[in-house]
Structure 1
Amino acid sequence: MMREKEKEEEEEEEGIKREMVKHGIHGHPLTLVESRRRAACSGCGRPISSGDQVYMYEYRHNNLFLHEECAELPRKMRHALHPQHTLTQEWTKVYKSCSICAYTNILTNGIMYRCRSAGCKFVLHYRCVVKDAAAYDYDEDEDDRRTKITHPSHLKHELKLLRRDCSFKCDACGTTSKESSYTCTADACQYWIHERCAFLPQTIDREDHHHKLSLSFRVPPEYIRFNYKCDVCSKYFMPDYWIYHCKLCRYVVHLKCAFKKLPHYTRGKNGWIMEFPIPRNAVGEDLIGAFVRRQGVEAYTQPPIPHQDDVDYEFHHHKLTLVSSSSSSSSFQEEKEENGDDDDDEEDYSSRKSELICDGCITPIFLKQTSTSSCLGSSSSKDNYYYYMRCSMRSCKYYLHLACFHMPPQLPSLPLLHHRDHSLVLRSGDNRKPWYPQRCSVCDKETNGLYYGCTICKEFKVDIKCTSMPGTIYHAAHPNHLLDLLSKDEARSLAYFKCDAGCDSRPALNEAPYKCRSCDFMVHLKCAGLPESATSRRWDKHHPLLLTHDATVNRPGDFYCDQCEQEMNPRSWMYRCRSCDVSFHPDCLKTTCGEYRNIKIGQKYVIKEAHCHTLTYQLLTTKRKCNTCGKDKHERPGFYCALCNFFICFYCWFFDSSIKYFLRPEADVTLV
């Protein structure tokens, strides 16, 4: 009985000690109670709800509250970014700039940790200390043990501590600074690292990645081979410096970037910013429509003409009529059945048979409204129908988005893409002769759609998609900063840059890239405009292929393009279905993202001398060789008969085989 009574008394004493705590935040002891009202913690500034366990001091109108975990924070601690000195907990009402997040206005008052050594201004906010793997407990005997150490980065020799500050270049982080350090004890060895680098934690957590990052004393060869960049600052790595990385996802950062807090981007500060990538079916209304509005053309947001009226159009030989998606869906299905188009043909992936393709921007016109901005400019939008222009002749398959139809006939200038004092006029490629395309001077892709030509520089041409690209964009591949389209003069000063999309292509002569003003991230304009997804009936009939900016997330191993069978850089942009584990270079999806993405093909012709049946101008996909010359023409343009599996390549038709380099007369070809 006596022992039980003594045990109860000991437990009661421990409870009293726990219920009251002496804290530097106040001269009187704080009592652990259950909060009866809402308040704010005097340590971290976060709210306290009714019913929370808090330490409190209450006297008349002088009330003070502390979360239980805030009151139990260590009074002294060490931090990997400042291991040479001990940090002491303080409570202050003075603004102090944090040495990690660099903000001064997170707390007007509250707990922070400060170095009290003479001349040292290292300060940590409470929120940068809590749950930080770089923070560790203070040990009084630790200073003696740190005079000489054996470090895993340099196992062959011991390292000795130099407390005297001297300027040197650290072999761990690569920065030059003047602070305490460790140097090798061997006279012939010049290994030298900061004291703070020597005691970095082996693993850390970052808000922008869902796995722990491990410390590595060398950059893995794979990262160098594929030119990986730091996921914080977008700069390249030097092979001999330390990094933090995720081995599973290949997320990698410099030492100096590992503890930087990423800025939280808010669109509200900059107004409305267009987000990329955008769906292919939203190009006409969201990208080109926004450009038309910026030019002051508002008419296209309402049906410009009554349904029964036909209008002339400068770039087509028939009149155009306004139709809605509701009136065209059934007729489009009838056209497909009449033409015998089979969407299930896995081998014939040469053209987009299940879509209406705009002859202006060469992107789909879907029969249902799926764009992120309504082309009617109204939330009601009359049963969600949407309008577009088509040829009044039933047999003529000429279509235009309403926004493409209203493109301004002349532009005073395009200052970011061309000379400020050069005007441009709207022109059109010949959709009846897709083998005569025009090459865009900005994206270096050929097009038979609408484009602008310079009135002074006759060779400068820019398609309407490149014309419509905004000066500033938000891109999912670089979510923390905005990207600005560089002017022609700024782009010229770069001489040559490597695109962070990993496309390995040189920029076009007149191309100005998108660049992050805060770091080194930079992409071609043509890469920034890649669609959000693509489809491939041959490889994946059931899922869309999504544009992936980093396929390594939760997927270790190598990547190979299922089309060209070449090894891919895991950090390059690719179209990928994670469920089916198939990946493609954007350029390997030729008609949607690659070489022919701006050319409308699929036109039907009668060529009497070549074949007895109607031929379709398309890419050769069902076999490899031309029936006339016998050469490998796989995925090259020409004329194809699906009934006979007959293909004649463009060059066999264009050049007479009996007379070298003699051009065939175009009268031999009749458009159906």
Structure 2
Amino acid sequence: MDEVSFPYHEHPLHRSGGFGLLCAGCVKVAYSSDGYRCSECYGHRFFLHKECAESPLQITLSSHPQHPLHFIGTYHDHEKTCHLCGDYISEVSYHCFTCHIYVHIGCARDPPMPVIKNPMDHRGFLTLVTQIMGFTCDVCGGESHSYCYMCHHCYFFCHIGCISLYPEITHPSHPHPLRFLENGEPHYSDGKCGLCGEEFENGRLYHCSACNYSLDLTCVKYPPPLSYVSPKTHEHELTLLPGNMSFTCDACGEYGYRSPYACHQCDIKFHQTCFDLPLLINNNRHDHPIHRTYLFDRGLDLFCGVCHGKLDGPSEAYVCVSCDNFAVHSICATGFRVWDGRELKGKPDEMEDTEPFRVVNGNLINHFSHEEHELRLKNDGNVCQDNIHCRACVRPIDTDPFYSCTQCDFVLHETCANLPRTKRHPLSTTKLTLTSSENFPEGSFTCDACKRHSSGFGYSSGSLCFDVQCISISEPLNHDSHPHALYCFSVCCPLGRDEYCNACGKTCHLGFRCNIPDCDFALDYGCATLPKMVTRRESNDHPLFLRYGGNVSVRFQCHVCKKKLDLKKWFYANGHYSTASHVKCTVGDFSGLTEGTIITHCQYDPDRIWDPYSIWGFKNDVISECDFEVVANDSISGPCCHVCRSRSNMSLMLKTSDGSGRYICSYDCLSGFHPARV
């Protein structure tokens, strides 16, 4: 099967190789062409060997025969260690619920021998101790509470996983013997493994003093193959060249400094992470598949669609198979939150209907979200006097062309009606699907980009969902508040600095930033999608315009809340600056909701219990629920908020559905609402 739902991982897994990845099951480095990978986890680093993913749900271990071991997920507790080898458990393991024993999948599949004779030049026998005990390993120096090997004559203790670590070894990657060092690398060493480039954990390594060549314990236990055949990369067999050497990778064009794979016939070299790159993939910056090719200097200025740096040949890059204006660096194309991890070569093309409607006759259409009735286009250019909002973006119609239902009050902006059914976007590695509000629980959702609650249409994929306003803006974003183009970013990817939104001043976790050197301008999605004009009922129908701060002469008091305005942040004001207000006071917390939407507010138990086996983390945590309906604020003075006791001027408020007539003016007040409060 190309895709499976693994019971102990939140995202679907797809069939793929995992060269150099750490298996989450057996916690061994994989050099396999067959396994399962996650498309959504950071850098697609979650990988399972095929045999680990297909492990039985229950086994009996020879060293623990009294109880069966059950296959479980342990991602809620990252401090668990395997009681056989002593290493940390990743996301899945075998567990004895009676004795609270955890065992790696690999250790359970290949259990240790009960007695070993003369290991590691140790005279005598080492016996497997099948009880949990505290000890210090005499090989690696680590302290553990687990099973171990023990010599009863000299009280020699050893991790089960360290039994193969001799004082001196011959490793396939090096012609000379390597000696075990437990007090750190020599002063002349660069402090990194000669194969993987990682620093040495706890200062323990194997070292050749004649060649200044060092290996960490992971590469000693799980060395990469000395030769590898990768038909999708190169026609000849590739050979590992262990050691420190400078080279330029013929795949990504970047500098390398140790242990490449090389073809001696063609005199080309690759990073270990580059030579097994896929041939045909999807990219979330482009709607068409892109294929890996050798990019020669075409005499054109091509820029990477991800990092926006210039693409210089000759080197490998990914280019669109359908158009000639999109190209990506090899590393960028398969990087963080860009690639869905799927190799498309040899797989059938996706056949999807992206058209959102079918034309009935002239200006009459049948939209997928309202198939029971037909919609007619209205494009007279007049201001829509009625308070009508688009069902997709939940914004007023105003003078924009729109489709109106011939039999009910369903309306859509013309641009919203033309939104494609499926779309690729920088916010998601996988393709997003347009969904109408009726298909969401309670008819609403929270956008994962701007965090607004919306009852409009949303683009969703798995657990992610985004409103159409956030999806409608893409990079490069040319915003009136800044002279340079802005590009999408996420602080989940290491940036080296914190980003702060120039509109609201808050930490910007997901949004757009300027790539010009020394320009730290950034916008979060919530501010980037603010309406440029808002009409409020108390402003005598005069529109308020979005102002981007700066040195302006304006009243320093918000017209709505009567509090001071911070001119360094964005605000709304009329044409003469005689009326001004905060962004939140102008737009309101419920601007993404339509009248009649029901919101359920849950009150949580402060003494709720953590449940490590629940996907939600807690159990028995909701002690009360209360439903609220979104209603229009049509009164002259505005109703009094039940929590803050102030009269609200917001155009929308929440009203309890139990008939008590209590109102809520904001989400801050909703979080402090208690049903029993009078």
TM over 0.5: no
Between Structure 1 and Structure 2, whose CA radius of gyration is higher? Answer: 1
Structure number with the bigger relative contact order (C-alpha 8 A, sep ≥ 6) is: 1
Give the shorter-chain TM-score range: 0.3 to 0.5
TM-score, normalised on structure 2?
Answer: 0.36
Between Structure 1 and Structure 2, which shows a larger proportion of strand residues?
Answer: 2
Between Structure 1 and Structure 2, which shows a larger proportion of helix residues?
Answer: 1
TM-score, normalised on structure 1?
Answer: 0.36
